Amino acid sequence: MIRHVVLQIKPEKGNIQGNLERLKKALLDIREESPDVVVLPESFLTAYFLQGGVRELALTQQELFVRLSSMYQELNWPGLLDLVIGFYEREGGTFYNSCAYVELGGRGILHVHRKVFLPTYGVFDEERYLSRGSRIQAFNSRFGRVGMLICEDFWHTVTSTIIALDGAQVVYVPSASPARGFASQNPANMERWSALAQAVAAEHGMYTLLSSLIGFEGGKGMVGGSLIVSPEGKIMVSAPAFEEAALVAEIDLERIPAVRYDNPLLADLQGNLPSILPDLNRVMHRGEK
- Residue 276 inside a domain? The answer is no
Flag whether pLDDT at 125 surpasses 70: yes
Which range is least confidently modeled, 65-74, 152-161, 182-191, 236-245?
182-191
Classify residue 78: in a domain, yes or no: yes
Q: Is 289 among the domain residues?
A: no
Instruction: Determine the residue type at 35.
Output: P
- pLDDT tens readout for residues 177-221: 888 776 567 788 899 999 999 999 999 999 999 999 999 987 788
Residue 272, pLDDT above cutoff 90: yes
**Assigned domain for 150 exists:** yes
Q: Is residue 71 part of a domain?
A: yes
Q: Which domain holds residue 185?
A: 2-263
Q: Taking residues 222-234, report their average pLDDT.
A: 96
- Contact between residue 89 and residue 60 where contact means Cβ atoms under 8 Å apart: yes
Which of 13-27, 184-198, 237-251 is predicted with the least confidence, judged by mean pLDDT? 184-198
Strands 94-104 and 2-8: unpaired
Kindly list the distances between the CA atom of residue 77 and the CA atoms of 4, 65, 70, 110, 283, in Å, as whole numbers in the listed order: 16, 16, 12, 19, 51
**How far is residue 228's CA from residue 245's CA, in Å, rounded to a whole number?**
13
pTM over cut 0.75:
yes
Q: Which amino acid is at 231?
A: P
Which residues, at least 6 apart from 17, have a Cβ–Cβ distance to it below 8 Å? none
With 90 as the cut, is the pLDDT of residue 19 above it? Answer: yes
User: How far apart are the C-alpha atoms of 3 and 47, rounded to whole Å?
Assistant: 26
Does residue 255 form part of some domain? yes
Q: What percent of the chain has pLDDT over 70?
A: 99
Of 145, 169, 180, nearest to 229 (Cα)?
Answer: 169
Which of 132, 89, 94 has the alpha carbon at shortest distance from 112?
89
The CATH number covering residue 182 comes to 3.60.110.10
Residue 288 included in any domain? no
Rounded CA-CA distance 229/231 in Å is 7
Q: How many domains does the chain have?
A: 1
Confidence band of 289 (pLDDT split at 50, 70, 90): low
Q: How far is CA 77 from the centre of its chain?
A: 23
In a domain, 283, yes or no: no
Task: Name residues whose C-beta falls within 8 Å of residue 47's C-beta, 6 or more positions apart in sequence.
Answer: 11, 12, 13, 14, 213, 215, 217
Q: What is the pLDDT of residues 95-113, one digit of tens each?
A: 999 999 999 999 999 999 9
Going by C-alpha positions, the residue among 109, 34, 18 that lies closest to residue 71 is 18
